[in-house]
Amino acid sequence: MNYNIWYISKYAVTPKYGFATRQFIYSKYFAKQRHNVSLISSRSSSLKNRPDFKSLYIKDEIDGVTCYMLNGISIKLGFNLKRIFSWMQFEIQLRRWARKIKEKPDVIIISSLSLLTILNGIFFKRKYKAKLVFEVRDIWPLTLLEVGNFSKINPFYWFLRMIEKRGYRKADLIVGTMPNLKEHIQKSIKSNFKFTYMPMGFDTENLYFEQKEWQLPNDKFIVGYAGSIGNANQVEDMLKAAEIIENNNEIIFAILGDGPLKDILQKKYSHLKNVIWFPKVEKKFVNSFLEQCNVLINNWKNKPIYKYGVSPNKWIDYMYAAKPIIVSYSGYPCIINDAECGEFVEAENPKALSDAILRYSKKDKSELDIIGQKGKDYLLNNLNYNKLSKKYLDSIFE
């Protein structure tokens, strides 16, 4: 059967306005399987090309997907009152949009954030007698407690917690990008639920890659990082590891990206001669940087929330580059160990990180190539969106 699917996510991005997000890619592959898919997002998002329009929404047909962008205020990165207001605005606009659409949904997928949208999902489920899928990509409001330093007595936390639990109870299917999310759901509602794990994936149809020259030495072992440089990224652990092995003249640390802590860290560690900094570039150039490295690094904070697992886009990029990956992470192990393309070391432990880097620096290039290729093979065989989309639909309709 062909089904009408509404995929609703405030922060979804289509290729027309930036780098396509997970929601659009799944929608595209759902459409390839002859379903009628509508992707509903907001102008209040991290868009590279933000459109300016006065109407309730604008509509595009992209790769078989009907894409609706609802109007909303412009927002910047960071969690603040303006962002919260944009959440409420999106829910109002969503109700107005739904009243104008003639074709009613058979399936409604609500992809967090914003967490408030699950309330509209529950309303639409009842109104249209549709299946409701609650897709959790970030565990809110738990993230506010453990990463955002919110207090448990904060009324906003309890308000969001109430919404989260209601979403778990009312959903016909809960989809998580974290492999152990079901443990959190069990603690939250203590009742029966249907859950499936759908990690971040790779779209083989859209490779936004271009070559770029990088000023990196050819005769050194290059330890690379590409991404944001902020409180959540623990880039300082990499710099502390560089400090520990500063006297090893064969190892160079290369950091590509930008963020609120970049200037601070550059000044603090300006004495390190084994660190090279690169400014943020367009995503299409990142792969050419990763390919110049010998091993890639990803650091995480040591937080209880990670016992439910993670599935970052960064690992997808790293695996495609076919390089060994060292992850400072003490949470639920996944993907890297499944692919056997690297290893986990204790989070917030620069000595353990430096020891792992030294071990990899002593491996033959052929051995490094084998480890890296395992990651790329696993990515292409198990995490391609064409395959994942079929699993997603099977989970909904089984």
pLDDT, mean of residues 171-188: 97
**What contacts 54, CB < 8 A, 6 or more positions away?**
71
Tokens of 42: 């907001």
Sign for the CA dihedral angle at 326, 332, 337, 341 comes to negative
pLDDT at position 82: 86
Query: What domains can you pick out in the chain, each with its CATH number?
Result: 4-201+384-397 (3.40.50.2000), 221-382 (3.40.50.2000)
Q: How far apart are CA 349 and CA 212, in angstroms?
A: 33
pLDDT, tens digit, for every residue of 329-338?
999 999 999 9
Q: What Å distances lie between residue 148 and 88, 121, 141, 142, CA to CA? A: 21, 26, 10, 9
Q: What is the pTM of this model?
A: 0.93
**What contacts 49, CB < 8 A, 6 or more positions away?**
16, 17, 18
pLDDT at 180 over 90: yes
pLDDT, tens digit, for every residue of 116-164?
999 999 999 999 999 999 999 999 999 999 888 889 899 999 999 999 9
Indicate the pLDDT class of residue 45, thresholds 50, 70 and 90: confident
3-state secondary structure the chain: CCCEEEEECCCCCCCCCCCCCHHHHHHHHHHHCCCEEEEEEECCCCCCCCCCCCCCEEEEEECCEEEEEECCCCCCCCCCHHHHHHHHHHHHHHHHHHHHCCCCCCEEEEECCCCCHHHHHHHHHHHHCCEEEEEECCCCCHHHHHCCCCCCCCHHHHHHHHHHHHHHHHCCEEEECCCCHHHHHHHHHCCCCCEEECCCCECCCCCCCCCCCCCCCCCCEEEEEECCCCCCCCHHHHHHHHHHCCCCCCEEEEEECCCCCHHHHHHHCCCCCCEEEECCCCHHHHHHHHCCCCEEEEECCCCHHHHHCCCCHHHHHHHHCCCCEEEECCCCCCCHHHHCCEEEECCCCHHHHHHHHHHHHCCCHHHHHHHHHHHHHHHHHHCEHHHHHHHHHHHHHC
pLDDT at position 116: 96
pLDDT at position 231: 86
Q: What angle is formed at CA 290 by the lines to CA 327 and CA 358, rounded to 5 degrees?
A: 50
pLDDT at position 77: 67
Only one residue has tokens 């894409």, namely 67
Return left, alpha or beta for 219; rule: phi > 0 is left, psi -120 to 50 is alpha, else beta.
alpha
- What's the chain's average pLDDT? 95
pLDDT at 78 over 70: no
A 10 A CB-CB count for 313 gives 16
Q: How far apart are CA 105 and CA 96, in angstroms?
A: 16
Give the strand pairing for 195-197 and 275-278: unpaired
Return left, alpha or beta for 97; rule: phi > 0 is left, psi -120 to 50 is alpha, else beta.
alpha
Indicate the pLDDT class of residue 209, thresholds 50, 70 and 90: confident
pLDDT, mean of residues 214-240: 95
pLDDT, mean of residues 275-288: 95
Indicate the pLDDT class of residue 80, thresholds 50, 70 and 90: confident
**What contacts 368, CB < 8 A, 6 or more positions away?**
294, 295, 323, 324, 360
Give the strand pairing for 65-70 and 57-62: antiparallel
Q: What Å distances lie between residue 263 and 18, 259, 268, 373, CA to CA? A: 27, 8, 9, 35
